[in-house]
Amino acid sequence: MTLRPYFSSSAKVWDDIQWVYGIEEAGYAGWEIVADGNYRLEKPDNLGKIKEVIASTRLGITVHAPYGDLNLATLNDPIWRESIRQIEVCIEQAGDLTDRVTIHPGYLS
């Protein structure tokens, strides 16, 4: 069995989502949508554009939860609550796309 990798969106700037079609042409099996920065799933129009691409390709989809400036292991309660909130929003949005969401546990500084 030959495993084909997924392409992570964090390696590409999203000026125009048309670049995603090249992932399949390049031989990747799927697209890991890193839901951070320009790829946040709750940004206006992002989810619709992503669904259009998925419907017109055979790419598998996974979502990587946001991680920039978030820390699920922090002892600072307001930061922890906001980190949890953003992960929850991501998981809810990702549920329309996939059953796989990558989450990092955070770090103690």
pLDDT tens per residue across span 50-76 = 898 899 999 999 999 999 899 999 999
Domain of 34 in residue numbering reads as 6-102
Non-local (6+) Cβ contacts of 22 within 8 A are none
Stretch 19-39: mean pLDDT, rounded?
89
| Structural domains in the chain (count) | 1
Task: Name the token pair of 83.
Answer: 């980190």
CATH number of the domain within which 22 lies: 3.20.20.150
Q: Is residue 109 part of a domain?
A: no
Q: Is residue 72 part of a domain?
A: yes
In angstroms, the CA 12 to CA 18 distance is 12
Task: Name the token pair of 42.
Answer: 């709750």
Non-local (6+) Cβ contacts of 21 within 8 A are 53, 56, 57
pLDDT exceeds cutoff 70 at 14: no
DSSP-based three-state secondary structure for 33: strand
Q: Is residue 37 part of a domain?
A: yes
Q: Is residue 1 part of a domain?
A: no
Identity of the amino acid at 36: D
Note the pTM of the prediction, 2 decimals.
Answer: 0.87
Q: Is residue 96 part of a domain?
A: yes
Q: Is residue 19 part of a domain?
A: yes
Non-local (6+) Cβ contacts of 54 within 8 A are 61, 97
pLDDT exceeds cutoff 70 at 45: yes
pLDDT exceeds cutoff 70 at 22: yes
Q: Is residue 78 part of a domain?
A: yes
